[in-house]
Structure 1
Amino acid sequence: MNDRGRKWKRFKAAAAVLGVVLLAGAAGVTVHLYRQRKAQEAEIAARQHSLEEPEQFLAENVIEYGGKKYRRNSYVKAILCIGVDRSGLGEKTTTGFGGQSDGLFLLAQDTARNTVKILMIPRDTMTRITLTDLSGNVLGKDVQHLTLAYAYGDGRELSCEYTVEAVSELLGGLTIDHYMAVDTDSISVLNDGVGGVTVTIEEPGLATRDPELKLGETVTLKGKQAETFVRYRDIHQDNTALFRMDRHQQYMEGFFAALKTKAAEDDSILIRLLDSIQDHMVTDMQKDQYLKAALDVLNTQQLGSGDFYTLPGSGVTTARYDEFYVDQEAMIPVILDLFYREIE
């Protein structure tokens, strides 16, 4: 056999060995992933035996509380608004790549009185959420940060459904009628659509992101400044996501004040604003439904501190994460006030 033939024979032998190694490696990875998934399933199943399911007392038709009886007010719709911490919601994603819910607001839309009240829910709330593997197969439920419920879905409808399910269970089985999720790009679009939002800077750290956002200054936010104001938090400080909610409230009050001013001059502003974020949102509502909700917000005399509620509870700092635990007893009257009516 000549040298060329011997070289070709050695090459084929080496290629065969390499192929076997690659196949063995792939098989090893497959086995590892399979074992990892089974271990995850076993771990979750073991925890679920000791994990108490929250009492779903609000799933009943008639609620008895404090010696009185209540029934769900059919005129008040519960709409979960989700602010997702990523740009672009147009395409579905795999588990873990669809973003998290950075802001959670439950709207109580009174369709009879044409008013809206807003319940702010901390993103670090610890509650049961649906867990899946990387292929999207449901593994079970476990107590995790509420913000992660969105991440276990597809970055669109399924993520919203997992979040709605988690919030409903957290709130004692309260039926949530609709959802709307928006991405980070929508913030500046809406902000500039009303001509900017005027706020007062009450935290020194914002200036590290934008030198114009100095402590004590009153600023009309433009463009990306709005996203900075709404989303900034100092991750080196404890419970900053919780304290950031004061900023969320200030921004929403300022936004709706600016919107009312614009609407007095231009009665088509609301439709144009909603059309401008069509590519930045996911919702299970028809256009006429979310337009009606927006009109009810606009018709609220003056969206102020009396229209905002915060889910009662306490923040805890662990070695790794901030956590928020809801005060279930204090939560009940808040939910009854927002979504129920007293009956005889």
Structure 2
Amino acid sequence: MEKKIKMTRMKKRAVIVIGMILTAVLAVWFVRTTVSLYGSRKEAERAVSARRETEELWLAENKKDGTVEYGEKKYRRNTAVRAILCIGVDTAGKMEQSQVIGSAGQADGIFLVAQDMARDTVKILMIPRDTMTDINLYDLSGNSLGKDKQHLTLAFAYGDGREKSCELVKEAVSELLGGLKIDGYMAVNTSMIPILNDEIGGVEVTIEESGMEARDPEMTKGKTITLNGSQAELFVRYRDINQPQTAIGRMSRQMVYIEAFISKSKETAARDQNLITRMMNDIQDHMITNMAKDQYMDMGLAVLNSRQSVGNSDFIMLPGEGVETELFDEYHPDIEASKQIVLDLFYKEIR
């Protein structure tokens, strides 16, 4: 009996050691690959610097009167509209401990919420994870390697899985959008999807595409079901990696889910005044934010109490084009087309 117990303990230790070794190897591989890519693209760095002057600083405000000029019009930041960056991280479990660079996970979902506090409305700018933009690079010791144009999703991986990762994504999104000031961020991981989904009794959706039935027979194309537990995560995250641009394709599914989730949350909150408190308590251990609790509580209450019925017109896709390379899918943003969107969401025209 004692021998069996000892053998079990030894096996558990071996699994833990192997897991630690694999994590370290992956982190080293991640950074070495990054450094290699970075070194081979030194010429591109000079082009990046030149591009920043002409593109990324277009939103720089006039120091005298705080205005922004675009075309033949002048704009000023709408102080009633807050820019809140919401990040979905592809890890699970509690987000309590700092991680080694390269093992912190990636930003799998990136949404910039324009919260109009005067009208109690929201609009959501959906930013593809494969958006190619400038991000900060670091080695395993945390030393800066400068900036390079890479997938936006990787910005989170170069941090610690906590505040630094969020700040890196926030900075990258801000520069992508011309230097837009982002008022706050909130990052949650995949563990929160089934928890919040089940807190409101599940979310009803119609399955519009095939493929998910291989993971769950109930999720057959054309069928309307109430998502419960892990089904919610499968619905918002599933993609066929053998097909091109499926990360962009699934964003329509995410939009459907967010619409249905907000609608069901409002219904539930109407008969359960403690819902928002429970939901906020649920996400505490699985969330990183630079906002005070009363701030994100107020944000949640504003959405639930709003008369707005969130629909397709409240979601905006970052303009751009999906491109397939030999190695990865890429999304090339249309900077010029995004300018008016940013101004419409967060600024007001001066007449």
Query: How does the TM-score come out when normalised to structure 1?
Result: 0.87
Indicate yes or no: 2:301 matched with 1:295: yes
- State the Cα deviation string for residues 221-242 of structure 1 (Å, max 9, x = none): 0000000111110000010000
The alpha-carbon distance between structure 1 residues 186 and 64, as it changes in their structure 2 partners (threshold 3 A), is: same
Distance in 1 (alpha carbons) for counterparts of 2:307 and 2:321: 30
Taking the TM superposition and a 5 Å limit, the aligned residue runs for 1:149-168 are 149-168=155-174
Instruction: Give the conservation status (yes or no) of the 8 Å contact 2:56–2:177.
Output: no
* Paired amino acid for 2:83: A
> Who is 2:334 aligned against?
327
Deviation at 1:65, TM superposition (A): 2.1
Instruction: Count residues in correspondence.
Output: 310
The alpha-carbon distance between structure 1 residues 211 and 37, as it changes in their structure 2 partners (threshold 3 A), is: closer
Deviation at 1:40, TM superposition (A): 7.4
* Paired amino acid for 1:83: G
Deviation at 1:293, TM superposition (A): 1.3
Deviation at 1:55, TM superposition (A): 2.7
The alpha-carbon distance between structure 1 residues 39 and 199, as it changes in their structure 2 partners (threshold 3 A), is: closer
Distance in 2 (alpha carbons) for counterparts of 1:179 and 1:149: 14
Distance in 2 (alpha carbons) for counterparts of 1:339 and 1:199: 31
Distance in 1 (alpha carbons) for counterparts of 2:344 and 2:279: 31
Task: Give the structure with higher Rg (CA).
Answer: 1
SS of equivalent to 1:70 = strand
> Who is 2:225 aligned against?
219
The alpha-carbon distance between structure 1 residues 55 and 41, as it changes in their structure 2 partners (threshold 3 A), is: closer
The alpha-carbon distance between structure 1 residues 36 and 238, as it changes in their structure 2 partners (threshold 3 A), is: closer
SS of equivalent to 1:151 = helix
Indicate yes or no: 2:276 matched with 1:270: yes
Distance in 2 (alpha carbons) for counterparts of 1:37 and 1:103: 22
Distance in 2 (alpha carbons) for counterparts of 1:321 and 1:309: 24
Unaligned 5+ segments in structure 1 are: 1-34
The alpha-carbon distance between structure 1 residues 65 and 221, as it changes in their structure 2 partners (threshold 3 A), is: same
Deviation at 1:49, TM superposition (A): 2.2
Deviation at 1:47, TM superposition (A): 3.6
Distance in 2 (alpha carbons) for counterparts of 1:115 and 1:293: 10
Query: What's the Cα RMSD here?
Result: 1.7
Structure 2 counterpart of 1:77, from 73, 82, 90? 82
> Who is 1:24 aligned against?
none
Deviation at 1:91, TM superposition (A): 0.8
- State the Cα deviation string for residues 158-214 of structure 1 (Å, max 9, x = none): 000000000000001001110000011000000000100011101101111111100
Distance in 2 (alpha carbons) for counterparts of 1:268 and 1:36: 48
> Who is 1:138 aligned against?
144
Instruction: Give the conservation status (yes or no) of the 8 Å contact 1:59–1:175.
Output: no
Deviation at 1:41, TM superposition (A): 7.1
Distance in 1 (alpha carbons) for counterparts of 2:345 and 2:300: 18
Query: How does the TM-score come out when normalised to structure 2?
Result: 0.85
- State the Cα deviation string for residues 79-103 of structure 1 (Å, max 9, x = none): 0000000013111101010100000
Sequence identity, in percent? 56
Indicate yes or no: 2:197 matched with 1:200: no
Instruction: Give the conservation status (yes or no) of the 8 Å contact 1:44–1:140.
Output: no
Query: Which 4+ residue blocks in structure 1 deviate beyond 3 angstroms?
Result: 35-47
Indicate yes or no: 2:312 matched with 1:305: yes
The alpha-carbon distance between structure 1 residues 40 and 260, as it changes in their structure 2 partners (threshold 3 A), is: closer
> Who is 2:116 aligned against?
110
The alpha-carbon distance between structure 1 residues 69 and 186, as it changes in their structure 2 partners (threshold 3 A), is: same
Distance in 1 (alpha carbons) for counterparts of 2:219 and 2:35: 50
